[in-house]
Structure 1
Amino acid sequence: MGEIEVFKALADPTRRLLLDRLRDRNGQTLRELCEHLAMARQSATQHLDLLVAANLVTVVRRGRERLHYLNPAPIHEIEERWISGFDLPRLRALSSIKRQAEEHAMASVPTYVYVTYIHATAEQVWRALTDADLTARFWGHANISDWQQGSSWEHRRTDGSGVNDGVGTVLVAEPPTRLSITFESGGEQDPSVVTFLVEPHHDIVRLTVTHERLGDLDTYTSVSSGWPAVLSNLKSLLETGDVLPQTPWEMPSARAAV
């Protein structure tokens, strides 16, 4: 999606308000988003359609409900192009102060959703997500399982140590379009849930990753930086035949550079 569509979508105060509401509580229905808006439901729907078209919002179906999630990918790309080359450390410091103040007021940890588009088939994306050798290449860990519903899976290091940095259970396996797993690292009592939704469209695939039941804000911050790095490496592998020249998750964060 081009930057022009993103800038146009962000230019309207109502659309920014809708994004703010999703930032405060992700995964809302249309009815929930329209509450307290001084406009007709149809007008609000048109604003949401523009946000979806700009890839700033993604819609995930849960039964009869359509849940709306904030997608950070386009804003992240704009930040990298238009901000990172300027006064990023000072801006990050100010943003960190503001974010910390806002986090004190957050009553719950939001669900993380990331959407990316890949020039590949659904079968290729599914294989990349479930093949131990391929996950070892783009993720730095081999994901090992028979990928049957109810089976266990392991997120095993590739250094030969045999150490698992994550384990879980396969909740849903519907190749090549839907995979849902629990993810537990460090012995949490309530593991998080990761869902991969693979939607083919002609020569491309839309891959939506939803990470739910995050235990705290530190975990949310960690997955917010981790998923873009992992999925960028996956996209590069499928589109070029090779991963990125440097391991993306080893890149120092802007916060650390402040």
Structure 2
Amino acid sequence: MQVFTCLTVRVQPDLDKVFKALADPTRRYLLDLLREDNGQPLGELCRRLDMTRQSVTQHLAVLAAANLVSTARRGREKLHYLNPVPLQEMQERWVDRFERPRLRALSAVKHRAEEAMREKPSFVYVTYIESTPERVWEALTDPDTTAQYWAHRNESDWQQGSRWAHVRADGSGVSDVVGEVVEAVPPRRLVTTWLDPAGPEDQVPSRVAFDIQEYQGVVRLTVTHTDLADEQAHRDVSGGWAVVLSNLKSLLETGKLLSMDLRRKP
């Protein structure tokens, strides 16, 4: 009984700090960044969060106080590492003892489903544009601008949950792509679903994410097209995105379009 009492006194304050650290979405995102790439310096974390060094340092201090983040020196740099031990202690205290068999079964189902989803090909394209995030965002969402470099008008109010359409700029009013705005955070991130309106009724939409980041005085635009139907679809969008994004870059940097046929998807 004495041992149990001592453990209770020791653990409870640590758990309070863990819950406080996890209550903030920015700190949870910091942990996600370290989970993806452990051992990052402060400067890289600041860039990924688009926050000042002081703000990120304060968040890291809360995580360190909860023992969720540890640091190590590499030359003049201080590297930050995710420490999962407190989370494991929480799981052992409240979850494993009571629900371990059922949760293991659910986890196995989840992993199998995720593996099946990962079988669908995806496409990622990164380009660097001498512009601003605001201008790049406008170029992706303004119908008149998209008509110039894409031969299609991207039409929507760009609110989460709204419909959007990729309408031919030839005046026919035909939409080659329709979908829904999944996420819109101007001028940083836009996520939409993509469907062929002439396709089968049971088609599964693909998804396109535009991530706009300031990078060393220019803009890094990352386009991620996921949930493609098959390898043929991957080949189709690979060529299309390269042409469209090269034309976008030329328009924003020089005011001129490239000499190529844009009457194709995407």
Which of the five TM-score ranges fits, normalised by the shorter chain? 0.5 to 0.7
Matched, 1:194 2:208: yes
Matched, 1:246 2:256: no
Matched, 1:213 2:224: no
Aligned counterparts of 2:204 and 2:258: Cα–Cα separation in 1: 33
Aligned counterparts of 1:136 and 1:142: Cα–Cα separation in 2: 5
Matched, 1:168 2:210: no
* 1:222 aligned partner: 236
Matched, 1:138 2:149: yes
* 1:70 aligned partner: none
* 1:49 aligned partner: none
Greater RCO (Cα-Cα under 8 Å, separation 6 or more): 1
Aligned counterparts of 2:190 and 2:204: Cα–Cα separation in 1: 19
* 1:148 aligned partner: 159
Could you tell which deviates more after superposition, 193-202 or 176-185?
Answer: 193-202
Q: Deviations over 1:85-130 (max 9, x none)?
A: xxxxxxxxxxxxxxxxxxxxxx933210000000000000000000
Structure 2 residue corresponding to 1:177, chosen from 176, 188, 193:
188
Note the C-alpha offset of 1:217.
Answer: 1.2
Note the C-alpha offset of 1:242.
Answer: 1.6
Q: Deviations over 1:140-196 (max 9, x none)?
A: 100000000000001001111111001000000000000000010133521000000
Scaled by the length of structure 2, what TM-score is found?
0.53
Matched, 1:125 2:152: no
Q: Deviations over 1:34-89 (max 9, x none)?
A: xxxxxxx99xx9xxxxxxxxxxxxxxxxxxxxxxxxxxxxxxxxxxxxxxxxxxxx
* 1:50 aligned partner: none
Note the C-alpha offset of 1:247.
Answer: 2.9
Aligned counterparts of 2:129 and 2:180: Cα–Cα separation in 1: 26
Letter in 1 for 2:252: L
Aligned counterparts of 2:173 and 2:258: Cα–Cα separation in 1: 25
Aligned counterparts of 2:188 and 2:178: Cα–Cα separation in 1: 22
The answer on whether the counterparts of 1:109 and 1:220 sit within 8 Å (CA) in structure 2 is: no
Structure 2 residue corresponding to 1:237, chosen from 251, 259, 264:
251
Letter in 1 for 2:121: P
5+ residue gaps, structure 2, are 1-32, 41-117
The answer on whether the counterparts of 1:157 and 1:165 sit within 8 Å (CA) in structure 2 is: yes
The answer on whether the counterparts of 1:157 and 1:164 sit within 8 Å (CA) in structure 2 is: yes
Aligned counterparts of 2:238 and 2:171: Cα–Cα separation in 1: 28
Note the C-alpha offset of 1:32.
Answer: 10
How has the CA–CA distance of structure 1 residues 31 and 171 changed in structure 2, closer, same or farther, with 3 Å as cutoff? closer
Query: Partner of 1:199: helix, strand, or coil?
Result: strand
Query: Highest Rg: 1 or 2?
Result: 2
Aligned counterparts of 1:135 and 1:246: Cα–Cα separation in 2: 15
Letter in 1 for 2:199: G
* 2:63 aligned partner: none
- Going by fraction, where is helix more abundant, 1 or 2? 2
Scaled by the length of structure 1, what TM-score is found?
0.54
* 2:57 aligned partner: none
The answer on whether the counterparts of 1:143 and 1:156 sit within 8 Å (CA) in structure 2 is: yes
Note the C-alpha offset of 1:249.
Answer: 6.9
Aligned counterparts of 2:230 and 2:151: Cα–Cα separation in 1: 25
The answer on whether the counterparts of 2:150 and 2:262 sit within 8 Å (CA) in structure 1 is: no
Note the C-alpha offset of 1:248.
Answer: 5.8
The answer on whether the counterparts of 2:121 and 2:230 sit within 8 Å (CA) in structure 1 is: no
How has the CA–CA distance of structure 1 residues 121 and 191 changed in structure 2, closer, same or farther, with 3 Å as cutoff? same
How has the CA–CA distance of structure 1 residues 110 and 242 changed in structure 2, closer, same or farther, with 3 Å as cutoff? same
The root-mean-square deviation of aligned C-alpha atoms, in Å, is: 2.7
* 1:203 aligned partner: 217
Aligned counterparts of 1:237 and 1:198: Cα–Cα separation in 2: 17
Identical counterparts, % of pairs: 53
Aligned counterparts of 1:30 and 1:218: Cα–Cα separation in 2: 35
Note the C-alpha offset of 1:230.
Answer: 0.4
